[in-house]
Structure formats: structure tokens, C-alpha cells
Amino acid sequence: MSMATLASRPARQLLLRALILGAGYYLAGYLGLLIPYVGSHVSLFWLPTGIAMAAYWRWGAAMWPAVMAAAFAVNYQIGGPGWLAFGIAVGNALGPWLGAALLRRWSFDDALTRRRDLGAFLFADMAGMLATATNGTAWLWVAGLLPASNWPAAWMTWWTGDAVGALLCGIPLIALTPLAFRESFAGLRGAFNAGLLATVLVCGLIGFSAWTAPSAALLFPLLSLPLFVIAVLALRAGILAASSAVLILSATAAWGTANGVGPFAGHDTHAGLLALWSYITAQACTSVLICGLAAQLLATRRQQAALFRRASEAILVVGPTGLVGDLNPAAEELLGCSARDFHGRYLANLPFGNGGALARWMSDDVVPGASRLHQYLRLSRPDGSALEVEAQIAHHMDERGLLQAQIMLRDVTERREAEARVAASEKRLRDIADHAPALISEHDRQGHFRFANQAFQDWFHAEPAALIGKSLQEVIGRKAFAEMQQHIQAVLGGETVAFESRARNGRWLLIGLVPQRNAAGAVTGFYSLGSDFSAQARAEEALRQSEERYKAVLEDQADVVCRFDGKGEVVFANEACRRLVGGSAQHFAAATWRSVVVPEDLPQVHAQHKLLSPSNPIVVTEHRVVHAEQGVRWMEFVNHVFYDAHGKVREFQTVGRDVTQRKELKLQLEAINAQVLDLYDNAPCGYHSLNAEGKFVHINAVELSWLGCTRDEVIGRLGTVDFLTDESKLKYQTAFPEFLRTGAIEGVEYDLVSRNGTIRRVSLSATSVRDASGALVMSRSVMFDITEKHRIQAQLQRLSREQEAMLNTGVIGITRTRDRVFIWKNDAFERMLGYSPDELLGAPTRQLYADDESFQQFGREAYPAILAGRTFRTQIQLVRKDGSLIWVDMSGAQLDGGESVWLVQDITPLKQQQAHVERIAFHDPLTDLPNRLLLGDRLRQLIAMSERLQTMLAVCFIDLDGFKAINDAMGHEAGDLLLKEVARRLLLCVRGSDTVARLGGDEFVVVLSPLRAKEGCRPILARMGAELGKPVDLGGKQACVSASIGVAFFPGDGKAADVLTAHADEAMYRAKRSGRNRVCEW
């Protein structure tokens, strides 16, 4: 399909929409002007406003030319000057556009399921119609058709008429969507809605029809019944059905009133029209209000249904007799049953015994119609495990007046289990506190006991329960309490306090006080923890004495020994440490360990010190220091941290040894090992060693990257066979035993699969390392990646096969020639031209051409191009063996040795289809005359030719008089026969140089060219009028039509094709208005 065809689709769609809009607007306007209320231009029901507003909403602002043209036509036919019709048309196009623009600004939803959308439509309708009413009445006043005294009444009538018209016609057109139509009229429910719609139509036809003339007794029911039916439609089917019913009723009432029929066609025209307007407006407003209420109710129900379906709690609806009405998905999952299976069944029948439990719970002490707060129930899960739920019940009345119970179940199994665990944990903590070898107590702000553990009985010989309510002073004595007083004040101030105290029995206590806070953070008391550290105090004294004994020994050590307290201050440093730091005593006292560490090594030392903790109190570091006497030296430090009972650093001890010589040797060895390891790991191949079981014992980094594993994942755990494809594993199972026997393999190829699925082709060679007894110690294996080489080999083989297949394809014919003689061809080339195998070999290519000229022409065009190194391509007709012609697409290129290769494809069906499509695109399918597109092209060509030859041409626009009546009376088939006969007669009347075209319907255009003068076309026009006026036989019946013809001449009446056509069209309409069956020149 061509790009021009694709590009023309939006234009055709826009034109079709414009035609539909213009026709609808014009017909609705014609109906509205049948019952004018003020003068000839103001109506109480202007339905075109709703059509225009819906078109702007659906199809966009691009519809304004169609609205304006239709409005101009409607107002122009009333009478009055053209400028008045144009001015009114501007307002009629602007007002609906303004209403549609307001709807878009207010995020209007054309589904009209919310009261907000209905209100938005009403306000946009009224706002937009302010423009139409103001503009229209202003132009009527300017034209002198509206006295200034009548202007306010005319303006109000115009405004209300346009607003009601938009309400009547705009709402159903905007709400009309495929989805809304299916919801309103699909299925049995839709059929019933359609019946209600038909009822409204019947009531309208009977009440406002001259054929029925109902009695006065029947007239009132006929007027009031539609209101009831429309209300039912609004509640059942929504806004589309209800507004359509109002539109149908309004149309029948307006048509009847316009024809003087119905209750509103009284003697007083204005009173009758006003009553009609009131009746229709009441129907429309009532339906809109009911639809708004119904939409809000529907939205509420949908919201309730969504909450019911998406609630995380299980919900069951149970009727007054115990029947299950519904279960939400959470209930289905929790209780292990489906709503479909248990809808309408008794609650007690729910599976796993849950139904009986719920039924008993509902019947226990429940006041009918009352709601009950939550209660815990034990149920069973589908897998038999226990289920504990928090149950609530609420009652409500449904739309039938029946009491419904809504049971809500929340799964609290985990929460209840957690509560039980918390209670058990509290009990364990209390047991721990009671049996802990420390004094644990809780006190209020005045120091009274709230809790005391069992240890108080051992220390104070009093039961813990007897201490509750007593003060600390009463229990521990006045002196001990006075020593604690400052610490108690500190903890009541929010601090955590720790201190040592000696009891009356001589034992030492380490006491910690922790503030107790309420939810607001205020201190309401404190906790006390006292532990006996008498043994620790004795041990510390012994340690002090021991340190004194060893101090002399440490001073003589060559190793650096130093100790710091918890604040980082030096407690002890031996002579070696002082020599390391150097300087005076004051300099040593101010120095820190960081001052002697080489700055580049500080981050490493800090990182290792961070590893120290009460569970890991020793860390060994190795780094460089700046020795005051010996310069930079490598030292190894053993760092030991001592922590107190609270995890705080009590002392830091370090012992350092000079390891410079060892470090230098180690660094040299590491450098050599790094070089060897780099060669091993980064070689352009994979290295590994396997043991006798085939497991890796060594492997380099390159091969690890191929496997997608780390070294720890494969060493001693996996082997080569674990990374092979199934086919390669079979080959390995043969090759590895052979390697164990012979001690070497070479060039064995495998497919290696990495952990992420990447497959590579490898070549494996190996030799063995054996011990003195000949047993295998490990293999020396080298693996090369030959994936690319293997891929290229496979690709070459595949390309060879593909080339062979391509050359023998059944679609493209291929041949090679030398000196325009066939030297090779494929089977498809012979079949395409109808020759048997090898029949063309050695034959000249001339026999494929229709004549010598085409053969020589092809040679002149093709061979210079291919000899210049370019590819030549063309579409040409060749002669098959049987003499028939085929269209082919042929492309060729020059080869070495004077040969050329040609690719040939049969495109005969494509050419035939192209010709058929062009015929359809440019000709009328009924009469086979040129259509509008071909007419425009020919007319432009004829105008250009007339300009060159200095001649005239005539464009004759023909419209048949009386065709519509024949078409309506005798049917479309008779109308088609008539149009074909008209086309035949027109062709008989014109010359060979003239063009006859059909634009559509009963409109034809004849272009007469060339002409020397205007008089040259008049005999032809006379023949056409005479021929078209003759009777036509339409299947045994005679029919007569005439023709109204408008003529425009080039160049006098215009020099452009569209201008000439428009002028001829205007002249034709003048012929129509002048009595028809005549010719008028523009």
C-alpha cells in the first residue's frame, strides 16, 4: 500500500465525519425551524446545538467548518441576506465549541456515571449557549429583524432553546459508546430496555399523530406514561437509554406540534409551543436527575462491593435462616471454601467443622439485630492446623427488608502465639531474676521497693515479698543509704550510675542504677543491680603484686612492652618502648602510639583495632614504625585489650617485636610468588590440575572465569566433567580413563558450560605427575578456548548449505550469462519461463524478449551500469516458452571473467492487482465513470492544455430532478438502473475529447474541451437535456427525470479546477431555484 493511500485515510475520515455532521445538523435544524417561537430564526428546541457539541467532544475542534457550513445553510434557507446567515452561523459554531472546551477543562467523563459529570454538562451547556444566544440575537437586531424591545425575550428564548436542544440531543450522542450500548441493550435485560424505549416511541406516535387522534380520556395517560417509563429506564439502563427515550419523545412531540397535531397544537401558537417546551424540558430534567441519583447509588454499591472483595479480613454474609449469602476472597482463602459452592447453603455446612463453630457462636447470647464486639474463636485450617480468629458480627437490613448478619473474621493466630511467647518470656525473665547471683530490685522515686529478687534473702535474711513497700534506708541501713544518696539523685535525674560499695558484712558490691521511664519519658523510679565482686577485688590486689614482680623483668626485655588505661594514658612502658619513641620524659609523656606509626599504615592499624571486642580481645598487627634511633622498622605487635564487666576498655596492653629482616625476606618471596601466580592466572588459556578422582586441586583465574565460579567452590568439590554438556560428558568418560592409563591426552575437544549457561568450545591437553610408586598425584592440564574457531567452521558449513538452498529456491530465478548467452540457471528460473531442465543452457537471451527493440534497449540500459560496478534493476516483460508474456523484477551485477548474474522474480500478479486497484480508486463502481479524484486530475490537465492552446472549456454540473422520488418509491435497485442509464446517455451526447464523471448520488459533471466559444457547448447541452428527459424503462415500469445544469467557463469564470467546479455547482442550484430542467451559466 502506497504512502499516499495511507496519508489519505485521515483526510477521508475527516471528510466523512464532516458530511455526517453537516447532514445531521441540517436535518435537525430543519425540524427545529418548523416550529419557530420568535420570528423565523428563534426556536424553543434547537437540537443542532447538541449535535455540534457532541461532534466537538468526539471528533475535536476540526469539525467547526462542517458546523458552520450546516448552520449557514439552515439560516440561509429561511431567507434574508447571506451575511446574516454567516454571522449567525459563526455563533452557532462557537457556542458548542465553548461548551465542549469547558467539558475538557473540567475533566468530564462521557460515561456520565457521576453526578459531577451531569452537573458539568449542564453548566458547560448553559455557558456555551450564552455565546450562541448573544451572537444570534445581535445579528437579528443589526439586520432589522428584531426590535430592541423584543430583544430580551428573544435572547432568553434563544438561550433556553439552544440549552434544551443540547440537553436533548447532546447527552445521548456523547453517552453513545459501544460499551454503553451493550450495557443498555444487550441480552434479555437489554431487550426489556429496548421494549421500554419502544413504549415511549408508541406513546409519542399515538399522542402526537394525526392518524390515531386519541380521545381526551386517553390523552393524559399517553402524556404521563412516558415519564414513568423514562424514570424506569434511567434506573435500569442508565443515561444512554433514558436520554434516548427523551429525545424520541421530544422528536415525536415536536413533529406533531409542527404539523398541528397533539395537545400542544392549540389556537394560541406561542402558548402551545411554551407548553410543549415545558413538557419536554420536564422530561429531560427528570431523567437527568434520576440518572444522577442512580449513578451515585451505583457508585456507592460498587465501592461497597470493592471493599467487600478487597478486604483483608474474611467476611461472610448470613441470612436470617442461617443461609450463606456471600463470602469474600479473604474468607474463601481463610476457610478453604469457595463462594460459588456454598452460596445459598447453611452456615453450619462449612467444611473442617468451622461452620458448626460459627453457627454456635452466632446463637450464643446474641440479641437479634444487635452487633457484638470482637471475640476469639478457635477454628481449623484446610491443612488441619489450628486457626484462631478474632470474630465480630454486625447486622443490617437488605433492600428486601430481611435482617442480614455480616461476620468479620481476622486471623490472629500469629498474634496470639506471640502473646503466649511474650508471657512465657516474662516468666523466664522473672525466674532468671529470682535465681540470678546478683541483687536485682525495682524502686519508686522515694526509694521504696517495688520488686526484689531471691538474692535479697541470702544477703539480708528477708523474704523478697516482705521488702515490697519498704525504703532502701530500712533495708541497707542509714550509713549505706547516705553513701548511695548522691547516686540515687543522679539516676532520678535520668543518668545511669555505676559505683562500688562495701556492705556491712565486709563484702564488696558493684552497684548499677538505671532510670525507669514511662511512655512520656519521665523518670518514675529506678532499677538496681548489685553484684558481689569481692573475689575480683582480691584478684586485682594479687595482680598488682604480680605486676610489681614482673616489672623488673619487662624492663630488661628487647621487645617493646607498653600498657594504657581505659582513657589512653600510659600506665607502663619498658626501656625498649622509651628508646622507640625517644626524646625527653616530657616528650614521651605527650607521645601516642599513632605518632610512631608510619602515616601510610595508620588506616590498616585502625581497621585491625576495630576488630577488638570482649569476645575477641587479642589482635596481632604488623606495620612500620619510625624508630627514634634506627629509622623505619617493621614490627609485629600483639595487642591485648582487657574489658570490665560492662564491656568498657579497662586496659590496653601491647608487645612489639622487630621483624624487619623477616618482613623483607617475606616481601621478596611474595613478589616472586605474585609474578608466578600472575603468569599462571592470566595466561591466555585455562590451567588446572585434577586428582585421580577427577576433582580440581589447582585452577587458574582464566578458567574460573570460564566456569563462572570461585576457587573455593570448585577445589576438591567439582571437576571438569561437572561443566560439560551431555554429549561432551560421554566423550570425557572415555578420555579420562585413557589419560589415567597412558598419562597424557592431546587436543580433545569439549563443550564447556559455565554456571550462567554460557557454552564455549575448548581443546584440552594434559600430562600427569606421578609419585615414586607410579600413582597419579595430579594432572597438568591446559585448556584453549576454540569457540570462535569452531563457530567460524560451523558458519562456513552453514553458509555453504544455505547458498546451495538459496540457489535452488522455488521463488527467485537465478541465472549467469556470458556474452548474453545462458551458462547456468537454477530450477526456479526454468519453471518461471516454462522451460524443461537444462533447455536454456547455451541458448541466447534474445529468445526471452518480445522483439529486437526491447532486447537492444535492455542491453543499452543494463550493461553500462553493471560494467561500471553498479547493480542494475528494472521491471520488464519477458516471453515464456509458450509465447505468453509475464512481468518480472530483474536485478543483475557483473562477475569476474566477463560473466554476469541475474535475479528474476515473477511480479505478474502484483502488476494485475495494481491495475485493478487503480481502476477502483479512480472510477465510480456503479456507472464505471471517472470519480471525483479522476475528474479533478483530468480537469487540471485540460485547463493546462487550454492555456497552451488558448482555447476554452466548460464545466457542466448536472443534478437530476425527481430522482429521489423515484428512488424512494421504486427502491434503490431501480435508482441504480436509472443512474446507469443516465451515464450511458451522457456518454452518447458528448465528444471523444470530453469527460463525463459521477460525483455521487444523482450528481454528474461533464467537462467539454476544447471550445472556441461558449456557443460551441450549447448543442451538446441541448442533446443532454433532451436525452435525459426521455422515459427510462426500469424493469417494466417507466420513469422520467429531468436535469438542472449549471455551467462555468474557463478562463472567464475561473482558472482553477475547484473554483470552476464550485461556480458550476452554484449555477446548478440557481437552475434548481428557477424551476428546474434548465441550464444556467455562472
Torsion of CA 668, 669, 672, 677, to 10 degrees: -140
pLDDT in the model for residue 2: 44
**Phi, psi of 97, deg, nearest 5:** -65, -40
Mean of the pLDDT values across residues 706-732? 91
CATH architecture of 682-792: 2-Layer Sandwich (3.30)
Compute the average pLDDT of residues 746-759: 90
Mean pLDDT to the nearest integer, 1058-1064: 94
Q: What is the pLDDT of residue 874?
A: 92
Instruction: Supply the CATH classification number for the domain 538-666.
Output: 3.30.450.20
CA angle 935, 941, 947 (to 5 degrees): 130
Helix (H, G, I), strand (E, B) or coil at 128: helix
pLDDT confidence of residue 4:
46
Reported as half-sphere exposure (CB side, CA atoms, 13 A), residue 821 has a value of 7
Return the pLDDT at 220.
Answer: 66
Q: What is the 3-state secondary structure (H, E, C) of 150-177?
A: HHHHHHHHHHHHHHHHHHHHHHHHHHCC
CA separation for the pair 736, 721 (Å, rounded): 10
Third-level CATH fold of 16-175: Arp2/3 complex 21 kDa subunit ARPC3 (1.10.1760)
**Mean per-residue pLDDT for 909-923?**
81
Q: What is the pLDDT of residue 202?
A: 78
What pLDDT score was predicted for residue 1063?
95
The rounded radius of gyration (Å) of the Cα atoms in the chain is 53
- The answer to whether residue 1 scores a pLDDT higher than 50 is no
> In the CATH hierarchy, which fold is given to the domain comprising 436-532?
Beta-Lactamase (3.30.450)
Is residue 373 over pLDDT 60? no
What 8-state DSSP symbol labels residue 720?
A: G
Q: How confident is the model at residue 129 (pLDDT cuts 50, 70, 90)?
A: confident
> Of 689 and 584, which is predicted with more confidence?
689
- Cα–Cα distance measured from residue 936 to residue 938, given in angstroms and rounded to the nearest whole number: 6
Amino acid at 352: F
Better-predicted residue by pLDDT, 324 or 846: 846
Banded pLDDT at 3 (limits 50, 70, 90): very low
Q: Please check the confidence at residue 1045 and state whether its pLDDT lies above 90.
A: yes
Give the lowest-confidence range in 262-276, 449-463, 703-717. 262-276
> Which amino acid is present at 110?
D
Domain positions in the chain are 16-175, 178-310, 311-417, 436-532, 538-666, 682-792, 808-910, 923-1081
Asked if pLDDT for residue 262 goes beyond 80, the answer is: no
Arithmetic mean of pLDDT over the chain: 82
Give the rounded percent of residues in the chain with a pLDDT score beyond 70. Answer: 86
Helix, strand, coil: what percent of the chain each, to 5?
A: 55, 25, 25
Q: Which of 255, 282, 323 is nearest to 27 (CA)?
A: 255
CB 828 within 8 A of CB 855: no
Write down the pLDDT at residue 505.
66
pLDDT value for 266: 58
pLDDT over 90 (residue 106): no
CA–CA dist 156, 167 (Å, integer)? 16
**pLDDT exceeds cutoff 70 at 959:** yes
Nearest partner of 117 among 75, 61, 57, judged by Cα: 57
Mean pLDDT value across residues 614-621: 90
Bigger pLDDT: 100 or 402?
100
Q: Are 702 and 683 in contact (CB under 8 A)?
A: yes
Q: What is the mean pLDDT of residues 875-889?
A: 91
Q: 1009 or 191, which is more confident?
A: 1009
* Residue pLDDT, tens place only, 414-433: 888 887 887 887 777 777 76
- The residues, any chain, with a CB within 8 Å of residue 162's CB and separated by 6 or more, are 46, 49, 95, 129, 132, 133
Does the domain spanning 311-417 belong to CATH 3.30.420.40? no
- Residue 264's pLDDT band, with cuts at 50, 70 and 90, is low
- The answer to which of 781-790, 957-966, 990-999 has the lowest mean pLDDT is 781-790
Distances (CA, A) of 641 to 535, 566, 614: 21, 9, 8
Rounded CA separation 867/617 (Å): 90
For residue 137, which of 118, 153, 116 has the smallest C-alpha distance? 153
Q: Helix (H) and strand (E) counts for the chain?
A: 37, 34
pLDDT of residue 991: 92
Average pLDDT on 205-211 reads 68
Residue type, 935: L
- The H or E element that residue 491 is part of is helix 478-492
Strand 449-452 relative to strand 438-444, pairing: antiparallel
Given a contact cutoff of 8 angstroms between Cβ atoms, the answer to whether 861 and 846 are in contact is no
| Pairwise pLDDT comparison (878 vs 401), residue with the higher score | 878
Q: How far apart are CA 688 and CA 700, in angstroms?
A: 6
Using alpha carbons only, give the angle 214, 216, 219 rounded to the nearest 5 degrees.
60
Beta-bridge mates of residue 751: 761
Long-range contacts of 892-900 (CB under 8 A, 24+ apart): 892/862, 892/866, 893/866, 894/866, 894/867, 894/869, 895/816, 897/818, 898/818, 898/819, 899/816, 899/817, 899/818, 899/823, 900/816, 900/817, 900/818, 900/863, 900/866
Listed in sequence order, the residues at least 6 apart from 1042 whose beta carbon sits closer than 8 Å to its beta carbon are 960, 961, 962, 1025, 1028, 1029, 1076, 1077
Alpha helices by DSSP H, listed for 563-659, are 575-581, 585-590, 602-609
Structurally, at CATH architecture level, domain 808-910 sits in 2-Layer Sandwich (3.30)
- Say if residue 648's pLDDT is above 80: yes
Domain 311-417 identical in fold to domain 538-666: yes
Residues 6+ apart with CB under 8 A from 772: none
Using CA atoms, how far apart are residues 403 and 303, in angstroms rounded to an integer? 22
What phi and psi values does residue 710 have, to the nearest 5 degrees?
Answer: -95, 165
CA pair distance 576, 593, nearest whole angstrom: 14
Residue 74 has pLDDT above 70, yes or no: yes
Q: Which of 117-126, 905-914, 1037-1046 has the highest mean pLDDT?
A: 1037-1046
Helix axes 216-236, 187-207, angle to 10 degrees: 150
| Consecutive H or E run containing 779 | strand 776-785
Written as nine digits, the cell of 748 is 580433545
Q: Is 655 helix (H, G, I), strand (E, B) or coil?
A: strand
Q: How far is residue 600's CA from residue 993's CA, in Å, rounded to a whole number? A: 103
Mean pLDDT of 981-1004: 93
What is the arithmetic mean of pLDDT over 356-383? 70
Say if residues 121 and 169 touch (Cβ distance below 8 Å).
no
- Which CATH number is 923-1081 given? 3.30.70.270
Give the pLDDT confidence score for residue 212 in this predicted structure.
59
Q: What is the pLDDT of residue 695?
A: 93
pLDDT value of position 259 = 66
CA angle 269, 273, 276 (to 5 degrees): 140
Which of 80-84, 443-447, 556-560 has the highest mean predicted lDDT (pLDDT)?
443-447
